[in-house]
Amino acid sequence: MKIGCNTVAFRKSSLDFALERIARAGYKYVEVEANMSWCDHIRTDKDDPVKFADRIKNFGFKGVTCIGSHRELLTEQTAEEDLRNSLEFCSAAGVPVVASGEGRVPAGMSIEDALEILKPKLTRLAEVAERCRVYLAMEPHGSISLVPGGLNKIISLAPSKWLAVNFDTANPHRGDYVGTTRNGFEWKLEQRARGDELAVLKPVVDKVVHIHWKDVIGRNAVILGKGEVKLREELEVLRAAGYDGALSYETEGWEEPEESQRMIEQSLAWTKNLFETMNIKYE
């Protein structure tokens, strides 16, 4: 498996600052954020993907595991266009995965109606993903996907191997996520969807192509192994299913740089120790 780190840990700083700090911590792989109002380390509608790939190499990384391009796909008018841009950018930059989510179901809307709205959008995006040979990986990042069985309902709307899952190890446990649009961001569900992370993972484990490797206390991300999430149990489920992809350490980046540095360094050490204890090969 690959151990990576998301640049969101340093979202209040520049991309170059984030890349230097993550490389300094010892990570060989990185995930980069393209969430405009939340963490715009890249703009997939404007930036040059070839120059971006060269930039990553210059910091010594083996590769980018994923571009985080989270939108409120259900309700945000520009979300589909943004995700299309991200898929095309990743194709040109050699990045295998775009991560996103369906978003919050508006008050008064049924789940059935929400799925009907998502279906044509995901059908079109799955076609783009197939053309680009880049996975659009939906994660527990919305009202439907945080509930056991919900992710299956979403990715079944457009049957395609290119519509897959980016599993966030902590979001189902805390029952919440930070929703982002072009205009702003906020916690979306007030932890109303708190549940069992294993119950959300198991029905879709064979569809997982990327992992947000996260631990939390309450709603706040913490150093891996210090929180409430069943990380070892989740890793056991993933290994049993044959998963051998990337685990990207993710926080929300509220901390100042030195605290974020401490978190990413200690989380890397904890993950390596866990892998060695479980006899899992990593890079």
Is 283 contained in some domain?
A: no
In the block, tokens 């901390």 appear at 255
CA distance 230 to 212: 14
CATH number, residue 138: 3.20.20.150
pLDDT for 192 equals 67
Q: Which domain holds residue 19?
A: 2-277
pLDDT for 193 equals 66
Is 117 contained in some domain?
A: yes
Q: pLDDT (tens digit, 9 = 90+) per residue, 253-265?
A: 999 999 999 999 9
Is 229 contained in some domain?
A: yes
| Under-70 pLDDT residues of the chain | 191-193
The count of domains in the chain is 1
Is 282 contained in some domain?
A: no
153 contacts 144 by C-beta, under 8 angstroms:
yes
CA distance 276 to 269: 11
If you average pLDDT over every residue of the chain, what do you get?
96
DSSP strands (E only) in the chain: 2-6, 29-33, 63-68, 97-100, 135-138, 163-168, 178-180, 185-187, 208-213, 215-217, 220-222, 246-249
Q: What is the DSSP letter of 39?
A: B
CA distance 201 to 205: 6
